[in-house]
Amino acid sequence: MTSIRKDSKVSKTTTRLGRRSGGGVTLTDVARQAGVSVMTASRALNQPHLVSDDTRKQVLEAVANSGYVPNLHAAGLRSKRTRMIALMVPSIASGSAFLLAVHAMTEILVEAGYQVMLSERGYDRSRDDMVLDSVIARRPDGIVLTGLMESPRARQHLAASGIPVVETWEMTDTPIDMLVGFSHYDVGVAIARYFHEQGRRRVASIAATEARTAARFHGFADEALRLGIAGRHLQEGSSFVIEPPSQLGHGRSGLVRALEGDPDVDAIFSATDMVALGTLMEAQLRGLRVPEDLAVVGFGDFDFACNVTPALTTVRVDHEDIGRRTASMLINRIEGIAPDNPIQDVGFRLVRRESG
Amino acid sequence: MTSIRKDSKVSKTTTRLGRRSGGGVTLTDVARQAGVSVMTASRALNQPHLVSDDTRKQVLEAVANSGYVPNLHAAGLRSKRTRMIALMVPSIASGSAFLLAVHAMTEILVEAGYQVMLSERGYDRSRDDMVLDSVIARRPDGIVLTGLMESPRARQHLAASGIPVVETWEMTDTPIDMLVGFSHYDVGVAIARYFHEQGRRRVASIAATEARTAARFHGFADEALRLGIAGRHLQEGSSFVIEPPSQLGHGRSGLVRALEGDPDVDAIFSATDMVALGTLMEAQLRGLRVPEDLAVVGFGDFDFACNVTPALTTVRVDHEDIGRRTASMLINRIEGIAPDNPIQDVGFRLVRRESG
DNA sequence: ATGAAAGCGCTAACAG
DNA sequence: CTGTTAGCGCTTTCAT
């Protein structure tokens, strides 16, 4: 039987196009070359301690000679473990804070023997169902979501799939499974209080439609109103709403519009550090002194925040911490260990520099 | 037989842990619910025109009711088509130009029914072999590399796998398979000539160790020397070399160092737009007028380039074009259509704004 | 320490 | 238009 199959394969292979010909090195080929059974070859690669030194050497040699690369689809199909973690991010095109967390997480997961598969989730929530199904179709061992998943159908599919899920970068009492995040609303509140303490009396914000940025804005607006330091725009319930991704240009145009309706604004909370940088530049060009005339605070503590002048006051989230906690929760859960606390709040920190 | 298998599966399922229980909806379950054979169910989903309207309706209903999500490992194993394209990028953590191309490409590929799998290749070339093998292990239908692949072993595995490959963002006569890119060396040459035309006479560069940035630097240095406009640093063969990722801070420190050794420098070619922005800010803080006293040119035409003051003169590469060409070459090749020209040069364009 | 048999969930190929 | 049979490449399970 074995020889028949082998022959038929060889003849098929050689009659095919050149490009596709080499793709067919299987574990069976390796095993034959090494003079052992397929099962032994498999063990030599995945549970090396279970085979004799001699056998292992033979197999590894055959692997090297043949250029064998395992087919993880076959392995995953049979073993139900794909050693793959799916990471869903809103977008990779913008330099957003969560990309740093992704980077940290990737290192840990790769270390632990998992491969990460990044998917762009987009900013269009209506596509969540489709995108998620295409992820589940690959049967990852775990899924990390940037943001919450609110679509009922998506939540149901996720739960039904039995795949461990970590939602990140936000806070809720009702995660699908596990959560590592913080409250964006609270960030906004904290900035409003900070401005108040600093003696600012007419504050404004450059917000965005993206859910997390909007949450920060709402916290900021609510608290500013409560403290009586809301500028005209905040009082009227309006802000300068921008579409993601947030760019430097939005910071400039946002400040222009803020000053138009309310020339005495003395503090701006910008959607992200990139937007804040634009605000900073526009202020300087208009001869406003920062922070004396105008305080500018951003969000994210991007790489450049400490390298601009005046250095940017901002909100820092420990991305490495998010990455680390997410990775370890996931790995534990995959190995059957329930997390001590499935909802983890990593908090945030106001980094006071020079701009406000 | 069918009913026996069904029974055993049901009993197994119900005795398992809750979390894993729902994951097991298979096409067999759907077929049974719809009262058709598995094959017909498969056709109803993948080749709907081959089944009757009635059957299709039955199957789709069963899919919706059961929450079935196909297992693409099984499909790929059998059909040899995974409908997955692997994209290897150096890093996602830095706002680099190629991320914009990735975004454009993703849209086209998703449109065409492919899923993209992003892998971080890192800046450490010695890991190429391992990273590549882990990609091949997933048997993508196509691979897109950001940059060239120079490791002999990796090239061999890639060729042997028979997977169509497009190398991007660089130029060479010897691609593994297909190539969509441009010459970074030529970019450097073009900037040197541009500075020369503008009457600049002591030029310098803030370079980086990353291969493509280094290539731009070499083109720039060679041509500047030839034209006799090289500042002292370039004449001495030195530059201000930074490690990736290139940051704003490097632009500031780079200019400081450039002026220290050669106070009369009148033009700087920076590694990326982010670095150029730093150069710009440092120049302004030192009271240097840009572009009168100092010309600053970047690379990448990042989103903010046209929104800073003075607006940044830079080099633009049409990322959408790269994305589009790469995607279509790949899709064609997968469908058996050989590209008219496997090496495509997309060129670049100097975008003249205000900074130089 | 090693091997043989069975089967993961799906689709190619062929038959009706 | 629909069904049957076989098997993708690997690992689980059981036997030796």
What pLDDT, in 10s, does the model give residues A204-239? 999 988 889 999 999 999 999 999 999 999 998 776
pLDDT in tens, B265-307: 999 999 999 999 999 999 999 999 999 999 999 999 999 999 9
The whole-angstrom separation of Cα B89 and Cα B76 is 24
Determine contact: B94 vs chain A, CB below 8 A: yes
User: What is the rounded distance in angstroms from the CA atom of residue A262 to the CA atom of residue A257?
Assistant: 9
The Cα–Cα gap between B197 and A153 comes to 62
B256 touches chain A (CB under 8 A): no
Buried-exposed string A8-18: b where 16+ CB fall within 10 A, e elsewhere: eeeeeeeeeee
> In this structure, what are the phi and psi dihedrals at residue A230, rounded to the nearest 5 degrees?
-70, 130
CA dist B36 and B54 (Å) reads: 11
Residue of B69, B151, B163 for testing the chain A interface, max A β-carbons within 10 Å: B69
pLDDT bracket for residue B98 (50, 70, 90): confident
Q: d(Cα B20, Cα A159) in Å, to the nearest integer? A: 9
B343 touches strand D (CB under 7 A): no
Residue A42 CB in 7 A reach of strand D? yes
Pick from A70, A159, A309: CB nearest B281: A309
- How confident is the model at residue B91, as a pLDDT? 85
Residue B346 carries which side chain, given as an amino acid letter? V
Return residues 174-233 of B near A (CB < 8 Å): none
Residues above pLDDT 70, as percent of chain A: 92
pLDDT for the residue numbered B95: 67
Q: Test B136 with A163 for CB contact under 8 angstroms.
A: no
In which element (H, E) is residue B84 found?
A: strand B84-89
Please give the pLDDT value at position A23: 62
Contacts of A39 (CB under 8 A, 6+ apart): none
Chain A positions in Cβ-Cβ contact with residue B329 (cut-off 8 Å): none
Please check whether strand D approaches the CB of B46 to within 7 Å.
Answer: no
Q: Write out which nucleotides of chain C lie closer than 7 A to a protein Cβ.
A: 1-5, 7-13
Q: Which residues from chain B sit within 8 angstroms of residue A76, using beta carbons?
A: 73
> Nearest Cα to B235, choosing from B260, B266, B204?
B204
- Give me chain A's average pLDDT, please: 89
Question: Over 90: is that where the pLDDT of A295 sits?
Answer: yes
Give how far Cα B100 sits from Cα of A249, A251, B162, Å. 18, 21, 28
Is B134 in contact with B64 (CB distance < 8 Å)? no
**Highest mean pLDDT pick, A205-214, B120-129, B188-197:** B188-197
* pLDDT over 50 (residue B17): no
Longest Cα separation, chain B: 87
| pLDDT tens, position by position, A95-154 | 677 888 888 899 999 999 999 999 988 888 889 999 999 999 999 999 999 999 999 999
Give all strands (DSSP E) within A8-141, no chain letters. 84-89, 115-120
Percent of chain A surpassing pLDDT 90: 78
pLDDT of residue B6: 32
